[in-house]
Structure formats: C-alpha cells, structure tokens
Structure 1
C-alpha cells in the first residue's frame, strides 16, 4: 500500500473552505479513480497548515493518478491561499480500532526498517493501553529516510493527556533507529475516509 500526502501552508481563515472543497469535490472524485483507497485531511485552524493524504493499492495506481490529481491539488492550494508540498510514502503499519477527532503526526529520520520494527513491536502495544487511542499508522519514504507516524485520538483532551507518553515513545523510536525527531504537529481530523486494511 502507498500514500501521497499534500501539505498546504494555508491561511487559517481559509481552512473551512478547504474542508468543503475536499468534502464536495475531492472525495467524490477519488472514489472514481481505480486503485484509490481513500482520503484523509488533517487541519490546524490556528496556523492554516493542512495535510491531505490519499492511499493507493500499489505504486502503479498512485503514479497513474498524478496527472489527473495535479489540477485538484493546485485548486486546493488556491483555495487555502498558501504553498504546498507533495510527498510519497509506503504504508508500513496501519492499525485502527475506531475513528477519532484529532491526530498527532511525528516525522522522524533514521533507519526505516528498525523504526518500523520498534513501532510495530514496542510502540503499538503501548499505544493500545493509552486512554482515548483510536488508530496509528507509519508511513516511510525510503529515498529520504523519513518516517511519519500518526496517532488518532477520541478527543483533543485525550490527545493532550497523552503528550508525555508520546514524547517518550517518539524518543525511543528515534533512538532505536539511530536517527532524530524532525517535527511534531497536532491537528483536527477534518475528513477520514481511508480504507487501508489492517497492517500491524
């Protein structure tokens, strides 16, 4: 399974228009594209940063969709009123118990095989015991050595309460992978229609 994420550095005032665009146009369009397994959208209403992620059955389907989706990405950038960055990933881990309302995304640099093993064997069981936990995923980009771990939470209160434990888990993963933490960001989950199978 593969994923393409588009990170928009938009204007806070335009976030709702961006969400409406995803709901009314982008989501229904993606439903018609062969090999697409859904879409999620994370938003930070304070900074205007938004991340739209599509999932794909294989790399070929993701690549074949690029020309068709480029105008849609450009429209999203215009609606949100900022810049955008596109990244492609392999989906290494996907574990979901139920849907939530907010997410924490952590970007880590390091040995991706070790990172994946630590995340799957050590981090997931600990996350499952954390109150308010809903789901977790790990995406990796082997050309850049970057991993993106995302956890979803029932409420913002639950996510905030998990911060200390998350800091410890993140540091452990980066240490095991011989790498470093690049960035951490918390978001509202504005659109969640990913149909990636269990990959834990």
Structure 2
C-alpha cells in the first residue's frame, strides 16, 4: 500500500474546525476516489498540530487523487492551518495487534537514511524492532513508511490509550536506539499525537 501524509500547524483554538471538515467533506471526497483504503486523523491539541494519512492500494491511485485533493485541501483546513506539508510514502511494514481507537496515542519518529539502505531498514524494523515493540503493554499497531528515493521514513507506534503511550517511552527509546544503529538510520524528530480517527484497511 501507499500513503499520503498532510502535516499542518496552526492556531490550537481552530483545530476542531479542521477536524470536523476532514471527517465530513474530506472523507466524502476521499471515498469517491478509486483505490482509496481509508484515512487517519491525529492531533496535538496543545501545540496546534494536525497529521492526516490517506491510504491507497497503489501508487497510481494515490497519484490520481492528488489534483482534486490539492485543490480542496486549503478550504478543508481553514481557518486552522498556517503551514501545510504534504509527503508521499510506501507502506513497508504494517503490523497490527488490534485496531487503534479514538483517544489512543500515536508516537511518530521521523527518520533519514541513505537510499541504498532502505531494504536494510525495512528488514531490520520487521525482524528486530517490531518484536521489541510487541513487549510494550498497550501496543496496538506498528507501521513503517518509506520514501526510498529521498531516504526518509516515518515510524508510527499506536497505543490503546494515552496512559500506555506515556508508560512506553523508556522501553521504546531503548528499542529505537538499538534499531536505528542496526539499520543505519538517523532519528530527526520524535512526536506524540492523540488518535482522533483511523480506518485504514490494510487487507
């Protein structure tokens, strides 16, 4: 599968307006597009950050949806968004224990690597990092998104609630340190979000 991420920052007081638009008009727009496989919405209410992920069954389907979504996105995010960044990734690993639910937590690591190490990263994450994550209480899902061409990736770990998200920080830090060294990747950003909505259909 393939994903498109939209990362927006803005006034925290206007965040709920954008969430309502994305979960109504935005979802209707996506549902009309061929190859659509679901969408997620995550927020940091305190700082005013919004992350959305749309899932597609092929790179072509994602590309074909670009024009209409690019045209409609500004209106959906008004008046919240002050900055908007759009990125595209391949879903390299999708390991689900249970479906994440609203109110749960997402920890997101942004990583960089040499493009030639993309397969090493995917293999290491699947064989070595995911088993370590599975020992963390409350883990619901672990995903790895790759941009092979530019040597960028996202690692997402989902927890059933914010309490388990907080309790996992030390354990995941150790696994992240070990995995990054083994896979030759550099972690450039670490963030946490509240899960607002997720209905990705990987099967």
The TM-score bracket by the shorter chain reads: over 0.9
- Relative to the length of structure 2, the TM-score reads 0.93
Aligned residue number for residue 109 of structure 1:
112
How far did residue 19 of structure 1 move? 1.1
How far did residue 152 of structure 1 move? 0.5
How far did residue 71 of structure 1 move? 2.1
Pairing 1:42-121 to 2, within 5 Å after superposition: 42-98=42-98, 99-100=100-101, 101-110=104-113, 111-121=117-127
Aligned partners of 2:79, 2:157: CA distance in 1, in Å?
A: 27
Aligned partners of 1:65, 1:137: CA distance in 2, in Å?
A: 23
Q: 2:180 matched to 1:177?
A: no
Runs (4+) of structure 1 exceeding 4 A deviation are: none
- Relative to the length of structure 1, the TM-score reads 0.94
RMSD over aligned Cα, in angstroms? Answer: 1.2
Paired residue secondary structure (2:202): coil
How far did residue 5 of structure 1 move? 0.3
How far did residue 77 of structure 1 move? 3.5
8 Å CA contact 1:19, 1:191 repeated in 2: no
Aligned partners of 2:183, 2:44: CA distance in 1, in Å?
A: 29
Aligned partners of 2:79, 2:55: CA distance in 1, in Å?
A: 22
Aligned partners of 2:185, 2:145: CA distance in 1, in Å?
A: 16
Q: How many residues align?
A: 197
